A = this chain, B = another copy of it.
Amino acid sequence: MNLKQLAHMLALSQTTVSRALNGYPEVNEETRRRVMDAAKRHGYRPNPSARRLATGKSGMIGYVLPTGNAVDIDPHFVEFLSGLGDYARSHDLDLVLSPADADDQETTYRRIVANRQVDAVYISSPRPADSRVALVSTLGIPFIVHGRSEGFDFEYPYLDIDNEGAFHEAARLLVQLGHRRLALINGDDRETFAIHRERGVRRALAASGLTLGERHVCSLVMTEENGYRAARRLLEASDAPTAIACSSLIMALGVVRAVRDLGLSIPGDVSLIAHDDVFPWLKPENFSVPLSTTRSSIRLAGARVAERLAARISGLEEGARGEVWPVDLVIRGSVAGAPA
């Protein structure tokens, strides 16, 4: 059942039927009702390919997926996707993942924009002065950055959590508890979030005249193994920290293992706070010692990004509005006063 048939069946022109269905004003309400009725009864659904060719709109949002043999997709992605998908579903949006060589995403961005394959895109894991942000910005397609980039002479729309604030609060708490040697086991510090977190920790320490030692900050891909290695290295040193802030639950698993391997205890010898993106399959309260966290649901962020993308597509949202979500500091058993 296509438009032509439907129009014929109603003894109307395609024009009128199309307009009736799309809510244009120049059609009699009575007629519109007839049309919508018939459309529903016959299960008419406009062919998206045709519509897309005519309008240039695809009803899809895009994501350029960096791939490659040595490229691992962040497990956070799936949670973000849950939220995004949940919103997208209720608004008839599909999501298209365009795999790209991790080292040349530009080509792919240009392609999907030039081909009008998607109506909007989002960018994740941005770095300072991220070339994707600049690119997409000049390409003129609606977009939102999940996270933040920095160092541009222009504004852009983003959704980020207050990473600096979160880690500032976490570090401040630890300092208040008497800790003097803090360490930060961070994610890849080429990404903005990691930079912000480090900044937060430093600021909190500075407020008490402390500093974050060069060897007390690690920046690594967030795997369990890296968490272990980093913690082990930190704790075996002569100036071992008495408290650790850690950028992910997965790394925290490794930290806990290292602490145990060294015959130390949490929070007796080391206090630990980690960032929790709220996975359904790994919960900080279930760590052997319940883990204190800075918590922010990445899933909700996904839903919000989808919502804002939809708003931008339909013109409801404009301009370069940045949105920063506060982060909860959740205290559990893994922090205590500094050992004597």
Residues of A within 8 A of B (CB): 45, 47-50, 52-53, 56, 58, 60, 65, 67-69, 71-75, 77-79, 81-82, 85-86, 88-89, 93-101, 111, 114-117, 222-225, 228, 250, 253-254, 257, 260-261, 279-283, 286-288
Contacts and interface: CB of A to CB of B under 8 A. Distances in A.
Contacts of A69: 86
A281 B250 contact: yes
Contacts of A224: 281-283, 286
A100 B82 CA distance: 11
A282 to B, nearest CB: 5
Contacts of A47: 53, 115
Q: Which A-B residue pairs are the 7 nearest by beta carbons?
A: A89-B99, A85-B99, A223-B281, A67-B85, A72-B280, A95-B97, A49-B53
Given A67-B85, A86-B68, A100-B89, A111 B49 contact: no
Number of copies: 2
Contact of A48 (B71, B97, B117, B283): B117
A89 to B, nearest CB: 4
A88 B99 contact: yes
A53 to B, nearest CB: 4
A29 to B, nearest CB: 28
B72 A82 contact: yes
A96 B283 CA distance: 30
A8 to B, nearest CB: 20
Nearest to A46: B115
Contacts of A48: 115, 117
From A72, A281, A288, residue with most partner B Cβ within 10 Å: A281
A109 to B, nearest CB: 13
21 contacts: A53-B53, A68-B86, A69-B86, A71-B82, A71-B86, A73-B81, A75-B78, A75-B281, A88-B99, A89-B99, A94-B96, A94-B97, A95-B99, A224-B282, A224-B283, A225-B286, A250-B282, A254-B286, A257-B288, A260-B288, A261-B288
Given A50-B53, A67-B86, A74-B78, 13 more contacts: A49-B49, A49-B115, A67-B89, A71-B82, A75-B78, A88-B99, A94-B96, A94-B99, A94-B117, A223-B282, A253-B282, A257-B287, A257-B288
Nearest to A285: B225
B99 A96 contact: no
Which of A98, A257, A261 is packed against the most chain B CB atoms within 10 Å? Answer: A98
A257 B93 CA distance: 42
A73 B65 CA distance: 18
A289 to B, nearest CB: 11
